[in-house]
Amino acid sequence: MPETTTPAVPPTPPVPLAALLAREDLGLRQIAGPADPGTAVHWAHTSEMADPYPYLLGGELLLTAGVHIPEAADREAYFDAYVSRIVAAGGAALGFGVAPVHDTVPRALAAACDRHGLPLLEVPPQTTFSGVARAVWQLMAQARLAELRRVTEAQQSLAAAASRPDPVPSVLRRLAQRLGGHAVLYGPDAAAIAAAGREPARGVPEALAELTGVVRPPAGGTPGGAPGPLPASATGTLGAAHLAVYPLGSGEGFVLGVATPRREPGDHTIASVAAVLLSLLTGEHRSGTGAARSAALVRLLLGAPPEEVAPLLGAGEWLVVHARPDPRTPPGPERGCPHDAVSASALGAALGSPLVDAGPDVVRVLVPAGREPRPQPGWTLGVSAAVPPGDWPAADTQAAHALARARATRARLVRHGARPALTDLVPPDQARAHARTLLAPLAGQPALAETLRGWLSLHGSWDRTAVALGVHRNTVRQRIARCAALLAADLDDPDVRMELWFALRRE
């Protein structure tokens, strides 16, 4: 039956007692008590108290020179009480120095250690207690370094597994390999969703599933109706198997379970890292938004119209936002980049929508109309009018034109105007055909078209256009002259400018 336990030892990496005995510079020798290779020392403590119990935390190698031993007393009874108190306090071993008070280790002390199962070490005269303590800390530092290296390698390995096409099974497999055991993910209904690693011993799956109930919130909360605090993890044992469970996320019911043949330093940290990664991977599944977006994408790919898919993403009208990095923002981490998926995702989060397309030239975000976009540091934004799903393509064009105007006027955000214009009198297909014909000489030269659009929007100002495009004013002059030559048009003629502006807005 699994049960939660908390070891009463200091939070330090343990040192095998065998490692201390193997140090030739110390010359320690075990003369009584069990020779268990699994005995671990958490620190060294020197005390000459007749009853050291109040001063021990557990896991110590207690060092004494026997100053506290009375001259005239029933030594057998004294040592029996002395050793029993050390064992009761959780002491790991007792080291007895044969100098300067005693020449040999008292036989009654060795007999008491045999009776109570406490390892007894003889500390030779040439070895100081401070030297033993220093050796413990040196071995502890080595153990800590090895633990940190193991945890770091496991973190990198788990992160790589989380980026695979099958992230959840990959993380479970890598976790099971790193811990040398069995890893399983339980759903909110306590059923095993996925598992990996060694085949667990009989009874372990049932015990692990039962232990998940300690960290999973009950369906109806606590008996009083209010949810009570839950532990961040729980551990237990079943035979030789060590069990541990970790809740994922904010308590939605997903739980990671781990069963290992032994518990090593760093296992808890490694399993906690896996729990965090699995929380991220299952987060969208818990909220349902990821499944809805996947369903919407599949339906669109299969030919469904946008108005049929839109209810999966949310009801109502939508805004299309086009964004590019603000040229006034200096390079650095705060500056967005259309090629940077992380920056694009952060922009989408700031605008309140996960529907982000980080294209090569512009970031596009589909935002519910109820979430009014605001200027964002480091970005220039163009926002469409609110439209139903069927008009998304038209809104995409509106956002592109609004972004062009924002960049030309150096505004952080420009919204598409809803006021009717003369261009609305021309059918869109005819307007686009006219624009393609008129601007055909500029095809394949986006820098020229962008410069002409900015120059026209700024009423032919060389300096303002140069600033808006981030180029030298002479570059603007050369590009406009090139446009005039390719179009065979007089750009000082207001009628020509008006016609070109109409075409550039409809291309």
User: For residue 215, what is the domain's CATH number?
Assistant: 3.30.450.30
Do residues 106 and 210 both lie within one domain?
no
Do residues 411 and 431 both lie within one domain?
no
Q: What is the pLDDT of residue 283?
A: 64
Tens digit of pLDDT for each residue in 420-466? 555 655 677 777 888 888 889 888 888 998 999 889 888 888 988 88
Do residues 88 and 115 both lie within one domain?
yes
Distances from the Cα of 234 to the Cαs of 4, 214, 215, 415, in angstroms?
6, 7, 7, 53
CATH code of the domain covering residue 449 = 1.10.10.2840
In a domain, 46, yes or no: yes
Task: Count CB neighbours of 337 within 10 A.
Answer: 15
Do residues 253 and 357 both lie within one domain?
no
> H helices of 163-305, where?
167-179, 204-211, 267-287, 289-301
In a domain, 56, yes or no: yes
SS3 492: coil
Q: CA angle, corner 147, sides to 26 and 181, nearest 5?
A: 120
In a domain, 89, yes or no: yes
Helices (H) and strands (E) in the chain, counts: 16, 17
**Token code pair at residue 276:** 């965090």
Q: What is the pLDDT of residue 126?
A: 94
Q: What is the pLDDT of residue 358?
A: 82
Choose one of 359, 384, 419: the last residue of a domain.
Answer: 419
Count of domains observed in the chain = 4
Q: What is the pLDDT of residue 337?
A: 46
Do residues 339 and 276 both lie within one domain?
no
In a domain, 157, yes or no: no
Burial 373-399 (b: 16+ CB within 10 A, else e): beebebbbbbbbbbbebebbeebebbb
Q: What is the pLDDT of residue 18?
A: 94
Give the CB-side neighbour count of residue 346, counting CA atoms within 13 A. Answer: 15
Q: What is the pLDDT of residue 478?
A: 93
What is the Cα–Cα distance from 282 to 295, expressed in whole angstroms?
17
In a domain, 293, yes or no: no
Do residues 28 and 86 both lie within one domain?
yes
State the pTM of this model.
0.49
φ/ψ of residue 247, rounded to 5: -75, 145
270 within 8 A of 183, measured Cβ to Cβ: no
Domain limits for position 215: 166-219+231-287
In a domain, 309, yes or no: no
Do residues 411 and 448 both lie within one domain?
no
In a domain, 148, yes or no: no
Choose one of 122, 139, 156: the last residue of a domain.
Answer: 139
Q: CA dihedral defined by 277, 279, 282, 285, rounded to 10 degrees? A: -150
Choose one of 419, 434, 464: the last residue of a domain.
Answer: 419
Do residues 410 and 438 both lie within one domain?
no
Do residues 262 and 369 both lie within one domain?
no
Q: CA angle, corner 243, sides to 241 and 246, nearest 5?
A: 165
Do residues 63 and 115 both lie within one domain?
yes
What is the Cα–Cα distance from 109 to 114, expressed in whole angstroms?
9
* Residue segments in the chain with a per-residue pLDDT below the cut of 70: 1-12, 72-73, 217-231, 249-252, 283-293, 314-315, 327-342, 418-426, 507
Q: What is the pLDDT of residue 107?
A: 93
355 burial (CB, 10 Å; 0-12 / 13-18 / 19+) is middle
**Token code pair at residue 128:** 């100081």
In a domain, 251, yes or no: yes
Do residues 207 and 101 both lie within one domain?
no
174 within 8 A of 161, measured Cβ to Cβ: yes
Q: CA angle, corner 76, sides to 73 and 81, nearest 5?
A: 95
Do residues 414 and 428 both lie within one domain?
no
Q: What is the pLDDT of residue 506?
A: 72
299 within 8 A of 309, measured Cβ to Cβ: yes
